[in-house]
Amino acid sequence: MKLWHYGLFVFLGGCCYGVLSTFVKLAYAAGFSATPVTGMQYLTGALLTWVVVMFTRKKKTTFKSAVSLLLSGIPFGLTGLFYYQSLQTLHASLAIIFLFQFVWIGTCLEWLIYKKKPTKEKLTAIAILIAGSVLGANLFSQEQVVLTWQGTMWGLLSSLTFSTFIFLSSAVGKDTPPVLKSALLSTGAVGVIFALFPPLFLFDSSIVMGLAPYGLFLGLFGVVLPPLLFSIGMPHVGPGLGTILTASELPVAIAMSSIVLSESISISQWIGVALIMSGIAIGHLNRSKTALRPPAIREREHAYAE
């Protein structure tokens, strides 16, 4: 399989995340709250993934890797929970802007945990990202911006947990088959969601039947496909190029909110989207070039550096 094929997997994984906010908003409009929507999504997604595992080639994983993946699913579940909470009071096109702050938060975590200072390219990228976020949030528009402190808090928390999830998922379960890895991550996510909010809605048949279509769609595009596509593509394209390709989530989310939800998207917001994606590209440009070099060349460069 060629490199662009793996890149396409990562790109499509980002697109899958991009459609979620619109359908969560539709579920809210139908009268459902964030907790049952999130619980149904991750429960349905986990069940679907384990069904796929049952029909795939069996390959064992170590107990340590399984536990690590289950624990890594905790920030995965919290991200969905926090993000959907923010969607209760924010427009979908604004909530996604807060989620995308994971780029500079990830840089701060890298500095704190690995003592790796950000490069000039990354600092430039962060500055561009902040400028893009201001435009994306429509703060300079003459129109009234629906910006609540609750939505802002939940949105920023979702970006923090998403950054944590990226750190953990890239470091554990490297030898675990993608489908099994996705199943374990989603199981960990279900566990933390149900621990925080017991699934009492499952005992109400009317809620379950009403949520079923939303849960199936959100579970497929939010739990099953993205981790699976990322598990297949990320090891081959590298984290730098992978982050750029995952940015497909942003324009898809904003376009869907405009087309399906009829949310007004200004020109300045689209400029903000372009700046955010440019900031992500600049911040990871050097890492992307390294990821695209043949393994033999990368090994030689590493040897010379030592």
So what's the pLDDT on residue 219? Answer: 93
Measuring CA to CA, which residue among 97, 76, 86, 82 is closest to residue 18? 97
Do 184 and 64 contact (CB within 8 A), yes or no? no
More confident residue, 34 or 60: 34
Question: pLDDT tier at 137 (50, 70, 90 boundaries)?
Answer: low
Give me the half-sphere count of Cα atoms (radius 13 Å) on the Cβ side of residue 178.
14
Mean pLDDT is lowest, of 148-157, 195-204, 249-258, 281-290, for 281-290
Mean per-residue pLDDT for 115-144? 73
In the predicted model, is pLDDT for residue 246 greater than 60? yes
3-state DSSP call for residue 206? Answer: helix
Question: pLDDT tier at 298 (50, 70, 90 boundaries)?
Answer: very low
Mean per-residue pLDDT for 26-36? 90
Report how far residue 55's alpha carbon sits from residue 64's, in angstroms, rounded to the nearest whole number: 24
Identity at 188, one-letter amino acid code: G
In the predicted model, is pLDDT for residue 132 greater than 60? yes
Mean pLDDT is lowest, of 86-95, 230-239, 290-299, for 290-299
So what's the pLDDT on residue 174? Answer: 74
So what's the pLDDT on residue 296? Answer: 46
The two structure tokens encoding residue 37: 């929507």
So what's the pLDDT on residue 265? Answer: 78
Written as one string, the DSSP assignment of 54-104 is HTS------HHHHHHHHHHHHHHHHHHHHHHHHTTTS-HHHHHHHHTTHHH
3-state helix, strand, coil in the chain (%, to 5): 80, 0, 20
| Ordered alpha helix ranges (H), 177-294 | 178-196, 205-219, 225-246, 249-259, 267-283, 285-292
Identity at 95, one-letter amino acid code: A
Mean per-residue pLDDT for 37-53? 92
91-100, 130-139, 185-194 — most confident range: 185-194
% the chain with pLDDT above 90:
24
Mean per-residue pLDDT for 243-261? 80
Chain segment 283-294, per-residue pLDDT in tens? 666 555 554 454
Neighbours of 151 (CB within 10 A): 20
Give this prediction's pTM.
Answer: 0.80
Neighbours of 295 (CB within 10 A): 7
Q: Which residues, in sequence order, are CB contacts of 286 under 8 Å at separation 6+?
A: 119, 121, 240
In the predicted model, is pLDDT for residue 69 greater than 60? yes
Report how far residue 92's alpha carbon sits from residue 256's, in angstroms, rounded to the nearest whole number: 9
Report how far residue 269's alpha carbon sits from residue 132's, in angstroms, rounded to the nearest whole number: 8
In the predicted model, is pLDDT for residue 229 greater than 50? yes
More confident residue, 250 or 158: 158
Q: Look at the block and give the residue holding tokens 């999504």.
A: 41
Show me where the domains of the chain are located: 3-305
**In which element (H, E) is residue 24 found?**
helix 20-29
pLDDT, the chain, mean: 81
Q: Look at the block and give the residue holding tokens 């324009």.
A: 251
More confident residue, 118 or 216: 216
Question: Quick one: how far is CA 93 from the chain centroid?
Answer: 15
Mean per-residue pLDDT for 140-160? 79
So what's the pLDDT on residue 286? Answer: 55
The two structure tokens encoding residue 108: 């701060």
Cα separations in angstroms, 271 against 18, 42, 94, 136, 244: 18, 33, 14, 7, 17
Question: pLDDT tier at 39 (50, 70, 90 boundaries)?
Answer: very high
